[in-house]
Every structure is written in C-alpha cells, then in structure tokens.
C-alpha cells in the first residue's frame, strides 16, 4: 500500500456524514499520514453543519476533535492535529514540501492566498474548496499546469463612502461598519491609526473639539464613567453637531441625540453592571453572560444595548487591558461582537433604523453566509474525488466542479476542465502591477496597509526601491532598524530616503510566502472619494491578456470560462449570491475544444454577456435599494487555452 501524506487545512468544515465515508474511502486506498491545521474552537453554531462535533465538544479544538472522530473508524491512520494559525512562521515552504497534496477549506481570503503561495513555492498540488449557502466549488491548482487560486479576481469587499458611514447612515450595515471600523478600532485598536469618529458639521473646529482627549481613559477615572463619557460623545454630542448642518437634513430624516443618563439611570448600572470579576480565562468574558442575556437571536431594546455597550467596554478594560491598543475586530471574539452589536444598534436607534440581533449583526460584521449541511456534504465528496486523482497523478481527469443552487441543464454539479495559468497573474506568472497613487500625499503606511497587506495579502513584507530598503518586518531586526522603518511609515512616498514618484518601480517581497511582486508607480493627483475610497488604484492582475482579438469569451456559456461560473464561495460577501449558469453547458466530464464555441470568425457574444449578467441573483439587504453585485465578469476576457 502506497503511503501518502496529506495536509488538511480547515477541511472538516466541509465534512458531514457523506464526507466521513468519502474520506474513509480515501484512507482505505492509501496509507495516509494526515496533518490538520486550524486555530478555531468549536462553537454551538457549528453543530448543525459539522457532524464530527457534538455538544460536549463546544470550546475544544476543531483539529483535535476531528482527529479523534476519524480515528474511531480508521485507527491505522496517522493524523497529527495542530491547533494553530496556518500563517505561523513554522508552517513554511519546507513544511509544505513534505506533503503529496494540500486540501484547503479555510474560511477567509487572506489565509487562502497565503496557502496558495506556499503551495506554488513548494510545488505541491492544492485542492481548494468552499461553500456559501447552496453554492460550492472544488478546484485543483498545480503549478505550471493550471491556473493558481489567485489567477482570477475575487469579489472585492463592499465599501461605503466615508461620509455615509460617519454622517448619514441609512441602513443597519452602515451602523455595523461604523461600530466595527471606527469606534471599536478607536477604543481598542492602534492609537496611531487615522480615525474620524466625529460627525461633520459646519464648524469643523467645534466638531473635533477635544476629540482625541475624549477617547483617553484616565488612570484614576472610574471605568463606568469613562464608558458613559464615550457613549455621550459618540451618540449624543456628535449627533448634535451633525444636526447643526441644516442643509444635510433637508431631504433626510433627522437623527436624535441619545445620552446615557436618559436611557440608563446611575442606580440601574450600579445594580446590574458592577459584578465584573477579573479572570485569566479571557474566552469567558461576556457582557451577555454578565447581564443575564442568553439568546443571541433576541433583538435587544435600547436600554439593553446600552447595558451591553457599557458592560463590554468595562470587561475589555478590566479583563483584557493588555490587549488594548493591538486589537482588531474578530467575528470569533464574542466580547468584540457584543460591543459592535450594541454600538451599531444604539447608532441605528439614533438614525431611526430598525435594530438587529447579535446573530444578524455578527453575520454582517464578519461577512458570514450561513452554511448548509447538504452543500458541505457534496463538496466533501468532491474534495476526495479530486484528491484521489492528484495522488494517482491522473492529470487528464482533473476537474473544477461547481455546485449550483438550481439545476442547469438538469445538473446541479458543473464540472469544468482546469485552465492554464493566467499570464497576467502577479502570483504565478510574476507579472508587474501598476499603482495609481498621489505620491505627494500618501504615506508609506497607506501603501503597506491598503495595498501590500490588504490587496496583495502579504504578512511580512519587505519593500525595496532599486537597492534601497524602505521597509522590512522580522524578528531578527535591530532596534535602530525598527525605528528607522517605523519612521519611514510616517513619511509621504515622495519624501522617503529613496523618493517614490511617478515612474518608480517598487519591489515587494514576502520571504515566508516566497512571493515577490514588482509594482510600477503612477502619480495621480485626485481620486473619487466614493468610487476610490482608498485614494489609490491597483491594476494589472485582475484580467488575462488578450491572445486573439477575435476570440472573445462567451461569458453566457458556463463551459466557456471559469469567470462565468459561481465565484469562489470562500470569499463571498454576506449579501452576495450568484445564480446558476443557465445556458450553454456541456455534458459533465467531456473535453471541449475551441471549435465547440467559435469557428474562428468574429462572433458577437454581447447577448451572452448580458444574459450572464442578468442571471446574477442579487440579494437585497435591509432595504429595497441595497444591491450588491459581483463585478468581475469581463466581456473582453480572451478565451483561455485548454490544458494539453
């Protein structure tokens, strides 16, 4: 029996009853040595869709419980669980090289990109998978033979104009973004990060009066009084300042200022909110538990939201003081979710927006689309089918398979042959990118956070201009080097020791991922605040280079290109869903030639493109006019070349 080594990354998130039998079959065919990596612990909400787990497992490591479950019916298999983050430095390229195949079921885009780059560097096949509601997919990625995970663009997270978030919210999602990205970040995140929590008024000086001082907690100040002061400033004073701009409210409903004293008398918080005991078990800190609120699907009234807001803030400063200044919102951090839910609801009440439960707020804040067990079961089986092909080196049979919500040509599963690597991909084809940015206004910090980390997914970047090293991250740096790089972060690009201006070529590298990217800088003076909120535009890697001018892609045909198929569900936003492919499919498993779609003469596919775009199923969120559409269907994409 052949010994095969597999690395499973969060893959049991897709495992259900069918998945267990599928993996058992895989393990029966090969003597498998499996390693599982996952940093998650089991939550009650996992139990309805992840059938390896039981009520008694809540709070335990997913990786360890999954190992124990599988060993009960396949005791001869060697499985090593890691309760860890796959982005930890010890899971490097050498670690990945020991495996025959990587099976990835991680639940966020950043981690998927990281794994994709490690697999490319290690030259190990990757089987990607994901589900979103009734949609799912399994894809195979082999260096040099198929497109990598990043060859095709992923739907960008929904963004909102700053003025809408800070001044004129009209939907609950606006309140959640404000609570998560502004208030939570201001109170518990990096103090040096720019953050405007003050609603704009005609008198800018008045609107920002003592703004920074308001958020500073004095050492001798009672924590509850501090919480009330924050509450009054953001929900009371700021709203009053917004109302002073009468022009803003001519065609809008005016918000109402809310002060803590009007909602929660002192005697009430003294009776209900002072029983806060400091504990070493950070996971047990919960405002809901302290206040006796049990059901996360209940919609709290304004008084309950106010209590949760004050209590959560107290728990952060009492139990988790050491983390303050370094926290970022995490949907799996219960206390963070409680605080954001309460803050969003109080703001919603001020702007006459319907309140929502913690369950709903968490879904919005974490971009969560709730899973369906049957979809997970189907995808689990597909993962194993492709893994067996990889282990048998049956490259001719590789398929990218998409699970649809509704039948198309009487099929719910849409198999498609893998495509060649995208020659414009900056990851596997090393194609340079282009960045439009105001080099006289944007700082190096903006470039690092908004482009290098957020767009390119690098964790430990190194940035060079010619031979000059502008920025580096690492544990082996000297103190003077760290101080020098931190100083560079605060400088605008054109004032760096090696100035970055229009025409500059920057080299950005992540040593852990063994990923290098060249970025051509183009200076641009102005940006549209609503359409280009980052103040910079990265381009050059989101579409393939044309190979034949007359070989247009038939995006209305599901078999023609992966771009016309459902997007990768692992990265789908909460209020986005794609409808099934409706026409032009071929029989599952059949090989398709270019002649099947084009006779070589120019063909007008505009109707096909329109049909595909019209077939996108658009969900409405909160309001009739809240539409979110995936915008990466490109009618000018050239037909990709088939694998030999």
The Cα–Cα gap between 588 and 51 comes to: 29
151 labelled ligand-binding: yes
Q: Output the CA–CA distances (angstroms, integers) from residue 562 to 555, 571, 614, in the order listed.
A: 9, 15, 17
104 known ligand binder: no
Q: Is 480 annotated among the ligand-binding residues?
A: no
49 marked as binding residue:
yes
To which residue do tokens 């709290």 refer?
300
Give the residue among 579, 573, 581 at the shortest CA–CA distance from 621: 573
Catalytic status, residue 260: no
The answer to whether 592 is annotated as binding is: no
Q: How far apart (Å, rounded) are the C-alpha atoms in residues 180 and 161?
A: 15
Q: Which helix (H) or strand (E) holds 502?
A: none
CB 309 within 8 A of CB 346: yes
Residue 148 counted as an annotated binding residue: yes
Q: CB–CB of 638/551 below 8 Å?
A: yes
For helices 373-391 and 17-29, give the axis angle rounded to 10 degrees.
10
Q: Is 46 annotated as ligand-binding?
A: yes
Spatial CA neighbour of 445 closest among 507, 534, 511, 366:
534
Q: Which two tokens stand for residue 184?
A: 């939570």
Structure tokens at 415: 């198999």
> Which residue is associated with the tokens 């940015």?
437
Beta strands of 117-241 (E only): which ranges? 126-132, 135-141
DSSP 545: P
Residue 336 in marked binding region? no
Confirm whether residue 266 is marked as ligand binding. Answer: no
Q: Are 312 and 306 in contact (CB under 8 A)?
A: no
Most distant CA pair in the chain: distance in Å?
Answer: 81
- Picking from 556, 632, 615, 633, the residue whose alpha carbon sits closest to that of residue 155 is 632
- Confirm or deny that 111 is annotated as ligand binding: yes
Candidates 163, 301, 426, 517; catalytic one:
163
- What would the DSSP string read from start to end of 363-431? HHHTT-----HHHHHHHHHHHHHHHHHHHTT-GGG--EEEEEEEEETTEEEEEE--BPPPTT-TTTS--
* Cα gap 60→68, rounded to integer Å: 12
266 phi and psi, to 5 degrees?
-55, -45
Residue 107 in marked binding region: yes
Residue 112 in marked binding region: yes
Catalytic residues: 163
Q: What residues form the annotated binding site?
A: 38, 46-49, 62, 107-112, 148, 151, 425, 428
Q: Which residues are annotated as a binding site for ATP?
A: 38, 46-49, 62, 107-112
- Known binding-site residue numbers for Zn(2+): 148, 151, 425, 428
């Amino acid at each position: 029996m052949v010994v095969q080594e597999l690395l499973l990354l969060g893959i049991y998130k897709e495992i259900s009853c069918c998945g267990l039998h599928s993996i058992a079959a895989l393990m029966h065919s090969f003597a498998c040595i499996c390693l599982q990596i996952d940093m998650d612990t089991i939550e009650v909400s996992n139990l309805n869709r992840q059938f390896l787990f039981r009520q008694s497992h809540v709070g335990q490591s997913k990786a360890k419980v999954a190992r124990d479950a599988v060993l009960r019916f396949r005791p001869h298999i060697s499985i090593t669980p890691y309760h860890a983050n796959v982005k930890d430095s010890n899971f490097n390229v050498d670690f990945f090289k020991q495996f025959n195949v990587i099976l990835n079921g991680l639940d966020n885009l950043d981690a998927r990109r990281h794994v994709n780059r490690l697999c490319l560097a290690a030259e190990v096949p990757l089987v990607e998978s994901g589900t979103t509601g009734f949609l799912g997919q399994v894809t195979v990625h082999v260096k040099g033979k198929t497109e990598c995970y990043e060859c095709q663009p992923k739907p960008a997270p929904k963004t909102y104009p700053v003025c809408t978030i800070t001044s004129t919210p009209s939907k609950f999602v606006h309140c959640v973004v404000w609570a998560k990205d502004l208030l939570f970040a201001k109170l518990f995140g990096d103090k040096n990060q720019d953050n405007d929590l003050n609603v704009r008024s005609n008198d800018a000086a008045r609107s920002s009066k003592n703004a920074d001082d308001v958020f500073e907690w004095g050492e001798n100040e009672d924590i509850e009084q501090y919480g009330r002061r924050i509450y009054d400033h953001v929900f009371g004073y700021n709203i009053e300042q917004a109302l002073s701009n009468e022009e803003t409210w001519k065609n809008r409903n005016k918000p109402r200022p809310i002060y803590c004293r009007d909602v929660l008398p002192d005697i009430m918080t003294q009776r209900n909110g002072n029983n806060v005991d400091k504990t070493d078990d950070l996971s047990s800190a919960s405002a809901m538990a302290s206040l006796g609120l049990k059901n996360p699907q209940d919609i709290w009234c304004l008084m309950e939201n106010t209590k949760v807001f004050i209590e959560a803030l107290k728990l952060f400063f009492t139990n988790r003081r050491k983390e303050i200044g370094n926290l970022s919102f995490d949907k799996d951090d219960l206390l963070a979710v409680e605080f954001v839910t309460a803050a969003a609801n109080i703001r919603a009440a001020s702007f006459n927006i319907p309140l929502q439960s913690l369950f709903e707020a968490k879904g919005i804040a974490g971009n969560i689309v709730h899973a369906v067990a049957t979809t997970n079961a189907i995808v689990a089986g597909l993962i194993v089918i492709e893994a067996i092909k990889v282990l048998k080196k049956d490259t001719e049979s590789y398929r990218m398979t998409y699970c649809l919500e509704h039948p198309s040509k009487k099929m719910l599963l849409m198999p498609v042959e893998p495509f060649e690597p995208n020659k414009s991909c900056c990851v596997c084809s090393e194609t340079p990118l282009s960045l439009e940015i105001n080099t006289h206004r944007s700082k190096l910090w903006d470039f690092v956070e908004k482009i290098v980390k957020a767009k390119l997914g690098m964790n430990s970047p190194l940035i060079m201009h010619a031979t000059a090293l502008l920025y580096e991250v690492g544990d082996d740096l000297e103190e003077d080097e760290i101080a020098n790089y931190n100083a560079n972060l605060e400088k605008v690009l054109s004032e760096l020791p090696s100035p970055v201006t229009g025409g500059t070529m920057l080299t950005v590298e992540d040593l852990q991922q063994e990923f290098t990217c060249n970025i051509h800088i183009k200076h641009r003076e102005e940006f549209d605040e609503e359409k280009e909120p980052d103040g910079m535009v990265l381009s050059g890697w989101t579409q393939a280079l044309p190979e034949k001018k007359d070989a247009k892609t038939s995006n209305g045909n599901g078999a023609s290109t992966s771009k016309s198929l459902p997007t990768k569900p692992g990265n789908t936003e909460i209020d986005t869903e794609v409808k099934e492919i409706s026409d032009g499919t071929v029989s599952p498993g059949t090989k398709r030639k270019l002649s099947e779609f084009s006779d070589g003469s120019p063909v007008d596919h505009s109707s096909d493109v329109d049909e595909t775009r019209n077939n996108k199923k658009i969900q409405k969120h909160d309001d009739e006019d809240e539409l979110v559409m995936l915008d990466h269907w490109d009618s000018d994409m050239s037909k990709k070349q088939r694998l030999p």
